[in-house]
Amino acid sequence: MAKPTTSLRTYALTRLALVLPMLWILLTLVFFMMRVAPGDPVTAALGGRLPEKELQERRHAAGYDKPLIVQYVDYLGDVARLNFGTTITDDRPVTDVIIENGSATLELTFWAMVVALSVGIGLGLVAGRLRDSGADVSIRMFGIVVYAMPAFFLGFLAQLLFGERLGWLPTSGRASPEVQFLLPTHTHLYLIDAIIYGDWATFKDVVLHLILPAATLGLIIAGVLIRLVRVNVLQTMKGDYIEAARARGIDEKSVVYRHAFKNALVPVVTVLGLQVALLMSGAVLTETTFNWPGIGFELVRYLNNRDYIAVQGIITFFALIVIFVSVLIDFVNAWIDPRVRY
């Protein structure tokens, strides 16, 4: 009896239906975790700096004098409208913080992922092809070390070596102060803006500032990909179709890179979705280490100021990004390998 097939459209609708309860659970956790601490966020952030009467007015304006269930319903409604609240310490909409600082985080995470894919997949393929050789052992040790090393510690080492000792690269900021002051912010993505306006001196300056933080964050993700790609290449190389390709006289290099590589990538794509959460958490530490003015840097600043409204809004935004990427990865997997639809 033939096995019934599941169309990509049906799979997509089912997967989207599962997103709603997952999103609700996640938003609920964020809301109540931000209210575990005693008191209210307004008092935590501004207590001792404002008179009690003004604190009460701010609590009322923020809705913290309402019952908890009413606050919860209001929070879900605001998130549905992409309203993440207003910061307490500087009275800015969290959405504005995300828009203004999100471009820096986007630029950093994009190039960090480029580094992770290039290093992780490239070295993983070499290690899988040269199993148990000196190169394989060295690559595996490298992957373990960079994955186990905290992002801030790896960042400090990179700053010390390439910035302080060798003086090759800048160690903080997104660009030199004079460049950042003069750079037109058309897209808020400095590399794109420099290309649009043909300012190649600025382009070079931005690239130099980007190398260390992007490499630091990317190498940590690469540590996971190296091991994953190596294991899947080794498993794929045991397949019957690989033996058939060898029997036809196809050289070993083509067998690895043209036949085994594609099938070994399916689990890698799955894990990439899971690495987005690691990338986001790593971006917080990396941005703080390199004084990179992204969302992670702002999150740490608001945490230090005990501005839990801003913290709640930024974490909620991060959670939405992780869910979106996870669903996107599921669709890509279903397109690459129809077996995942069953």
In terms of pLDDT, which residue wins out, 156 or 342?
A: 156
Neighbour-count burial of 276, counting CB atoms closer than 10 A to its CB (0-12 exposed, 13-18 middle, 19+ buried): buried
Per-residue pLDDT at 144 exceeds 80? yes
Residue in 27, 28, 52 with CA at minimum distance from that of residue 42: 52
- How distant, in Å, are the alpha carbons of 46, 115, 226, 233 from that of 229? 50, 15, 5, 6
Could you tell me if residue 314 is inside a domain? yes
Q: Based on the fold, state whether residues 207 and 324 are members of the same structural domain.
A: yes
List all residues 6 or more positions away from 317 whose beta carbon is below 8 Å from its beta carbon. 84, 94, 98, 295
Same domain, 277 and 299: yes
Among 80, 115, 130, give the residue marking a domain's end.
80
Mean pLDDT of 124-143: 87
Q: Residue 244 — pLDDT band, cuts 50, 70, 90?
A: confident
Determine what percent of the chain is predicted with pLDDT higher than 90: 5
**234-262: average pLDDT:** 70
Same domain, 156 and 193: yes
How large is the average pLDDT for residues 271-275? Answer: 70
8 Å CB contact between 151 and 282: yes
Residue 179 sits in the same domain as residue 302: yes
pLDDT range class, residue 336, cuts 50, 70, 90: low
Q: Are residues 130 and 241 in the same domain?
A: yes
Average pLDDT of the residues in 125-151: 86
- Selected residue with higher pLDDT from 157 and 64: 157
Same domain, 54 and 156: no
How many folded domains does the chain comprise? 2
Q: Mean pLDDT across the chain, nearest whole number?
A: 79
Q: Which of 108-112, 148-152, 182-186, 208-212 has the lowest mean pLDDT?
A: 182-186
Given a cut of 60, is residue 342 above it in pLDDT?
A: no
pLDDT of 335 > 50? The answer is yes
Q: What was the pLDDT predicted at 130?
A: 82
Q: State residue 338's pLDDT score.
A: 61
Q: Do 280 and 215 reside in the same domain of the chain?
A: yes
Higher-scoring residue by pLDDT: 296, 281:
296
Whether 89 is in a domain gets the answer no
Indicate whether 221 and 244 sit together in one domain.
yes
pLDDT at 205 over 60: yes
Q: How far is CA 221 from CA 7, 104, 179, 235, 307, in A?
A: 33, 19, 30, 22, 30
* Higher pLDDT pick, 187 / 134: 134
Instruction: Look at residue 156 and tell me if it is in a domain.
Output: yes
Question: So what's the pLDDT on residue 211?
Answer: 92
Pick 181 or 272 by higher pLDDT. Answer: 272
Which residue segment(s) compose the domain that 285 sits in?
94-341
pTM listed for this prediction: 0.76
Q: Looking at the structure, do residues 279 and 316 belong to the same domain, yes or no?
A: yes
> Do 51 and 188 lie in a common domain?
no
Query: Is the domain of 47 the same as that of 118?
Result: no
CA distance linking residue 168 with residue 215, whole number of Å:
14
Asked whether the beta carbons of 331 and 12 are under 8 A apart, the reply is: yes
Considering 130-134, 206-210, 252-256, 295-299, the range whose residues carry the highest mean pLDDT is 206-210
